[in-house]
A and B are shown apart, each in its own frame.
Chain A
Amino acid sequence: MENKMKQIFRPKMYIGEGRRSTDTVVAENVTDTSGTIRRSQSDRTEYGKKLKDKMASQDTPTSSCSALDPQEIRSKMMAKRLKVIQELLQTEKDYLTDLELCIKEVVEPLKDIQAVEVDRLFINIESIKQVSASLLANLEEATAGVDPEIQIIGKTFSHVKAEMEEAYKIYCYHQDDANSLLSTYEKDEEVNQQFINCIMTLKTIYDREGKSNLLNMRSFMIKPVQRVMKYPLLLRELWNCTPDSHPDIRPLEEALNSVNIINSNINEFKRGKDLVMKYKKNEEEGRLRNKINKFSFHSLRKKSDRVTGHIKRITGKEPRIKDEKFDKEEKMFKNIEKAVRQLTKNVSDLLQALEGISTAAQNDQQLQSMLLDPDKCESECPLDTKNGSNPYLHFKNKLEHLVLKPLSTLQSMFVAPQKLIQKRYDKLLDYDSSRERSSDELELARRDYEALNAQLVEGLQVFNPASKKILTNCIYFIVALFQDLMNSTHRKFPSIQHLSAPLSNISEVQNSIMEELNNLLFVKENAPKLIERKLSFDKPKRPAPESPRQSEAQRVKVLSTYPLDKVHQLKRNCNATQERDLSLFEGELVAVIEQQDPLGSTSRWLVDTGSEKGYVYSSFLKPYNPIKEQNGNPQDREVDFDDVSIFVNGSKRNSMKSLNSFSSINDIQDWTETDDNDSSGNTDDQQIFYAVYPFQARCEQELSLLEYQRVRILKFCDASGNREWWLAEANEQKGYVPANYLGKMSYA
């Protein structure tokens, strides 16, 4: 008994990794000869052995009796056939009884005490019972009172094959889980006791009937698995001993086929699950050691093959293996994943933005309170204190709860399938590449690929619609929440008719008030000086004056009326700022009439443009040199104080230079006045430089300089015209100093 128990009980139906020799539960394929049928260990039941013996004893006669009379053979076969049918019926009956008892005495009581998850232990044993019952009914119908010559057994199986596959598939699939669950339960004293009780009850029943082959919970749980594996054997035997002329031969073949297929499907289904488990487990153990262990020659080869396979696929070569269904599901999966990912991120962003808003509603209250005078009540617009924070806070909380949470959970669920999809692709590549190789590898690869593929397709077909619905629900929530938010805030406001009419000229009203305020004495007197300075800076930015440009005739007039030394050219555009100022453009010619203005300031000159007379700041003017004009020297464009060449070239200019320097000396006094216009510029500035570096005079003509010493430049070249040495004056002393040692005094 003990031995048998060990043989019956195996924790796993087959091992998922590596070795396959003892793996398969059922015969590889139908065409295997009977001699090489592989059995799993669990097949070696006492019963199975008995059957084998029975059949074996029948086998040899049939195979060796070529000399016997065909009629005799036939009758012998028919006799055997009857026996097998008898066996089939009997075993099915017993099986059904076992199932019923199990349900009645074990499953139901356990369900009642609720200490055990019966569903996980016994899975869908009720459905199995149904299948068995209907099979038995069919069998009885096919055999009771029917002439053996026309008994059609095969059809009975074909009728139930769909339900059979469904029920057993599920049962076998979960068998491992059930077993491990059972082990954990057995460790629990109380639960174990319950089990023992049930078994005892069953045992007494069985003993009454003389059967003593029940052992423990496990043996019950494994019965369906054993039964479904026996069908092929039984049917095969039946088929073997059915004469060719018997009408049942074809149906039997079909039935045999079907049950074989059922078994292999169950296997594949389980294999798929195991593969999934295997790869999921592997992915989780990311520790370095494991990774190194996996890094073997075999895995290297696999990976390199996969890479080449991948490249082959994507370089346009017609992919050989394709599963349309899978591709469709995968695409949808990807899209949903992307949508969920983006939505989660966007909703988080939205929530962040909301943080800012909930404080904003207090602004209305603040504004209102400003208007309120503690002494007198002045608020005119009745606005009940809008508890603005509430609608927004509510929105935020709900959004988090109803949308963000499910979406995040959903998002985390995408990871595992993604990995499996990747793995499937790898298997696909393996399969592709192994087509060129031996058929063993091919078979292996094909199996792996198809198992994984089937798992994924099935899984995705559930996953995709469900996740899409979740997505849609979340979107719905978002919209609904927005709606609520808008509604609740809308309700709190008075309707638009109740508000006083809008002031269309708000800005005017407010501006006039501001003006009044500004007119208040204290403002006028105390306004920061900044404002004034700002105005002056604005001036250069203003667009060019609208006064017409100087015409040729005017220029000619100027040139002809006045001596050349009085003619000046505008260095830049200038805009009129004070009374009687002129707005002029760069390059225009004017003649200087007076080198001072009515107030005595010598930085403003009275000029004649040929069409009008007015004042211009002298810094805008430079002496007009017709030759330069013709040359179109671009340097002149931006002649400022920095350009000293004008003082250097041409004798004519010298006279003008002296004119300038003369005027500039007068300007010195101006420099100290705090005029409002900074850019009036002083020609004086051109000549005050400071020594960036100290300079030691090497002869009496040179002037020693201290660092940062101020000097005035009298000449911007030396006696021989060398522009690199300037005649400078400091402390009553004159001398030449190197020009590049000097820096311009910036007017700060």
Chain B
Amino acid sequence: MSWIPFKNNNPKKQIISKTVERDFEREYEKLQKIEDQTKKLHKDMKKSTEADTAMSKAAVKISSDLLSNPLCEQDPQFLKSMTALDTAMRRMDAFNQEKVNQIQKTVIEPLKKFSSVFPSLNMAVKRREQTLQDYKRLQSKVEKYEEKEKTGPTMVKLHQAREELRPVREDFEAKNKQLLEEMPKFYHSRIDYFQPSFEALIRAQVAYFTEMHKIFGELTEQIDQPGLTDEQRERDNEARLSELKALSIVADD
């Protein structure tokens, strides 16, 4: 990115070696990628936790509506199974909430914090870039003067330019060095940073699904006799539907 304007100016003379530039680029790119990933993941995780919550709330609504239906009064078996269903759904909701909280704490917030470092990084890179531009500008000025014939005023100007150049160059060198040192550190830190998050995420999910597995394990028996397979049940449904259709009070001619 910084080569291109440079190429226009003076492709032959290079202020910073290509390797240095390349290293810098590479590190910066890696960090940019991490930045994007962090942002995206943060957004996605938020969405997914919201979706989880929505789903378990919908499930609870199903069961509580059914439980509150007067059918339960007339039929004690129905009441029993609906109560079981409702209990299960509520437990699912509770566990889900816990899971969401856990994920919130161990994954979503750290993601946010991590991405808060990036603005500073970008700012620093920008500043380095500015310094580089200044550096190049002054450098070319110096070279221009150097190429001129060595008259008095030129010499003075040359000297002046050199004086100007020096602090800028030093500034640039400093910035460059700093960034080159610190970017890999930053990059590397993500592992230690996110490893626990990752583990926590997996752990939360495993815990949740283990619980769910237990909760739903016995539930089917309580709802209805499990004698029929799914297909049989499906066919049963169809049969009854057509039975209903045949009723005169229902049928359309």
Q: Which A residues fall within an 8 A CB radius of B?
A: 273, 276-277, 280-281, 331-332, 335-336, 338-339, 342-343, 346-347, 349-350, 352-357, 359-364, 366-371, 378, 380-381, 383, 402, 406, 409-410, 413, 416-417, 420, 455-456, 459-460, 462-463, 466-470, 472-480, 482-483, 486-487, 489-490, 493-496, 499-500, 502-503, 506-507, 509-510, 513-514, 516-518, 520-523, 525-528
Cβ B44 vs Cβ A360 within 8 A: yes
Cβ B248 vs Cβ A459 within 8 A: yes
Chain B 194-209 per-residue mask, 1 if CB under 8 angstroms from chain A, else 0: 1111111111011101
Once bound together, how far apart are the Cα atoms of A196 and B205, in whole Å?
Answer: 75
Which residue from chain A places its CB closest to the CB of B84 in the assembled complex?
A479
Once bound together, how far apart are the Cα atoms of A474 and B238, in whole Å?
Answer: 12
- The interface residues of chain A lying within 8 Å CB-to-CB of B127 are 526
Tell me whether A513 and B40 are in contact in the complex, defined as CB-CB below 8 angstroms, given that A381-B198, A503-B200 are known contacts: no
Cβ A357 vs Cβ B52 within 8 A: yes
Cβ B237 vs Cβ A350 within 8 A: no
Cβ A493 vs Cβ B121 within 8 A: no
- The interface residues of chain B lying within 8 Å CB-to-CB of A335 are 69-71, 74
Cβ B45 vs Cβ A363 within 8 A: yes
Which of B8-16, B134-142, B177-185 is near enough to bind chain A? Answer: B177-185
Once bound together, how far apart are the Cα atoms of A335 and B123, in whole Å?
Answer: 66
Once bound together, how far apart are the Cα atoms of A366 and B43, in whole Å?
Answer: 12
Cβ B247 vs Cβ A343 within 8 A: no
Which residue from chain A places its CB closest to the CB of B188 in the assembled complex?
A373
Cβ B249 vs Cβ A486 within 8 A: no
Once bound together, how far apart are the Cα atoms of A410 and B71, in whole Å?
Answer: 17
Q: Which B residues fall within an 8 A CB radius of A?
A: 34, 37-38, 40-41, 44-45, 47-52, 54-55, 57-59, 61-62, 65-66, 69-71, 74, 78, 81, 85, 88, 105-107, 110, 113-114, 117, 119-121, 123-124, 127, 178-179, 182, 185-186, 189-203, 205-207, 209-210, 212-213, 215-217, 219-220, 223-224, 230, 233-234, 236-238, 240-241, 243-245, 247-253
Once bound together, how far apart are the Cα atoms of A520 and B184, in whole Å?
Answer: 12
Cβ B62 vs Cβ A350 within 8 A: yes
Could you say which of A370, A413, A476, A518 contacts B194, with CB atoms under 8 Å apart? A370
Cβ B40 vs Cβ A522 within 8 A: no
B44 to chain A, nearest CB (A): 5
B62 to chain A, nearest CB (A): 4
Which secondary structure dominates chain B's binding surface? helix
Once bound together, how far apart are the Cα atoms of A339 and B195, in whole Å?
Answer: 48
Tell me whether A522 and B48 are in contact in the complex, defined as CB-CB below 8 angstroms, given that A338-B69, A420-B249, A499-B206 are known contacts: no
Tell me whether A378 and B191 are in contact in the complex, defined as CB-CB below 8 angstroms, given that A353-B51, A359-B44 are known contacts: yes
Chain A to chain B contacts (Cβ below 8 Å), 13 pairs: A273-B248, A276-B248, A343-B62, A346-B61, A353-B58, A366-B41, A459-B250, A469-B240, A480-B230, A509-B196, A513-B193, A514-B113, A517-B117
A424 to chain B, nearest CB (A): 10
Cβ B120 vs Cβ A462 within 8 A: no
Once bound together, how far apart are the Cα atoms of A371 and B124, in whole Å?
Answer: 24
Cβ A493 vs Cβ B209 within 8 A: yes
- The interface residues of chain A lying within 8 Å CB-to-CB of B190 are 370-371
Tell me whether A370 and B243 are in contact in the complex, defined as CB-CB below 8 angstroms, given that A364-B202, A503-B196 are known contacts: no
A384 to chain B, nearest CB (A): 12
- The interface residues of chain B lying within 8 Å CB-to-CB of A500 are 199
Cβ B74 vs Cβ A332 within 8 A: yes
Which residue from chain A places its CB closest to the CB of B189 in the assembled complex?
A513
Once bound together, how far apart are the Cα atoms of A410 and B66, in whole Å?
Answer: 17
Cβ B199 vs Cβ A502 within 8 A: yes
Once bound together, how far apart are the Cα atoms of A357 and B59, in whole Å?
Answer: 14
Cβ A476 vs Cβ B223 within 8 A: yes
Cβ A416 vs Cβ B58 within 8 A: no
Cβ A402 vs Cβ B241 within 8 A: no
Once bound together, how far apart are the Cα atoms of A576 and B215, in whole Å?
Answer: 56
- The interface residues of chain A lying within 8 Å CB-to-CB of B206 are 493-496, 499
Cβ A486 vs Cβ B65 within 8 A: no
Once bound together, how far apart are the Cα atoms of A195 and B16, in whole Å?
Answer: 103
- The interface residues of chain A lying within 8 Å CB-to-CB of B70 are 331, 335
Once bound together, how far apart are the Cα atoms of A459 and B245, in whole Å?
Answer: 11
- The interface residues of chain B lying within 8 Å CB-to-CB of A522 are 120-121, 124, 178-179, 182
Tell me whether A413 and B245 are in contact in the complex, defined as CB-CB below 8 angstroms, given that A343-B65, A479-B223, A499-B206 are known contacts: yes
Tell me whether A506 and B38 are in contact in the complex, defined as CB-CB below 8 angstroms, given that A370-B194, A406-B237, A473-B237 are known contacts: no
- The interface residues of chain B lying within 8 Å CB-to-CB of A356 are 47-48, 50-51, 54-55
Specify which of A349, A367, A466, A469 lies most central, judged by the most chain B CB atoms within 10 Å of its CB.
Answer: A367
New A-B contacts (9) at CB < 8 Å, excluding given A332-B71, A350-B62: A273-B248, A353-B55, A371-B190, A466-B243, A475-B81, A493-B206, A496-B207, A499-B199, A523-B124
- The interface residues of chain B lying within 8 Å CB-to-CB of A525 are 120, 124
Once bound together, how far apart are the Cα atoms of A369 and B71, in whole Å?
Answer: 52
Tell me whether A406 and B241 are in contact in the complex, defined as CB-CB below 8 angstroms, given that A417-B250, A473-B224, A509-B192 are known contacts: yes
- The interface residues of chain B lying within 8 Å CB-to-CB of A359 are 44, 47-48, 51
B68 to chain A, nearest CB (A): 9
- The interface residues of chain A lying within 8 Å CB-to-CB of B186 are 517, 520
Specify which of A277, A417, A514 lies most central, judged by the most chain B CB atoms within 10 Å of its CB.
Answer: A514
- The interface residues of chain B lying within 8 Å CB-to-CB of A478 are 62
- The interface residues of chain A lying within 8 Å CB-to-CB of B200 are 502-503, 506
B115 to chain A, nearest CB (A): 11
- The interface residues of chain A lying within 8 Å CB-to-CB of B66 are 339, 342-343, 475
Once bound together, how far apart are the Cα atoms of A15 and B189, in whole Å?
Answer: 90
Cβ A472 vs Cβ B223 within 8 A: yes
Cβ B202 vs Cβ A470 within 8 A: no
- The interface residues of chain A lying within 8 Å CB-to-CB of B81 are 475
Once bound together, how far apart are the Cα atoms of A478 and B65, in whole Å?
Answer: 14
Cβ B244 vs Cβ A410 within 8 A: yes
Cβ B205 vs Cβ A493 within 8 A: yes
Which residue from chain A places its CB closest to the CB of B125 in the assembled complex?
A522
Tell me whether A367 and B193 are in contact in the complex, defined as CB-CB below 8 angstroms, given that A339-B66, A483-B219 are known contacts: no
- The interface residues of chain B lying within 8 Å CB-to-CB of A413 are 241, 244-245, 250
B194 to chain A, nearest CB (A): 6
- The interface residues of chain A lying within 8 Å CB-to-CB of B249 are 276, 416-417, 420, 455-456, 459-460, 463
Which residue from chain A places its CB closest to the CB of B44 in the assembled complex?
A363
- The interface residues of chain A lying within 8 Å CB-to-CB of B193 are 510, 513-514
Cβ A499 vs Cβ B202 within 8 A: yes
Once bound together, how far apart are the Cα atoms of A506 and B110, in whole Å?
Answer: 10
Which residue from chain A places its CB closest to the CB of B219 in the assembled complex?
A479
Once bound together, how far apart are the Cα atoms of A495 and B202, in whole Å?
Answer: 11
Could you say which of A280, A466, A509 contacts B240, with CB atoms under 8 Å apart? A466
Tell me whether A381 and B250 are in contact in the complex, defined as CB-CB below 8 angstroms, given that A359-B48, A473-B224, A489-B209 are known contacts: no
Once bound together, how far apart are the Cα atoms of A510 and B194, in whole Å?
Answer: 8
Once bound together, how far apart are the Cα atoms of A517 and B65, in whole Å?
Answer: 52
Tell me whether A339 and B248 are in contact in the complex, defined as CB-CB below 8 angstroms, given that A366-B37, A510-B193 are known contacts: no
Cβ B223 vs Cβ A521 within 8 A: no
Which residue from chain B places its CB closest to the CB of A361 in the assembled complex?
B48
B87 to chain A, nearest CB (A): 12
Cβ B199 vs Cβ A503 within 8 A: yes
Once bound together, how far apart are the Cα atoms of A503 and B41, in whole Å?
Answer: 22
Cβ B213 vs Cβ A490 within 8 A: yes
The list of the 10 closest CB pairs from A to B, nearest first, reads: A356-B51, A360-B48, A459-B249, A353-B54, A522-B124, A526-B123, A353-B55, A486-B212, A350-B58, A483-B216
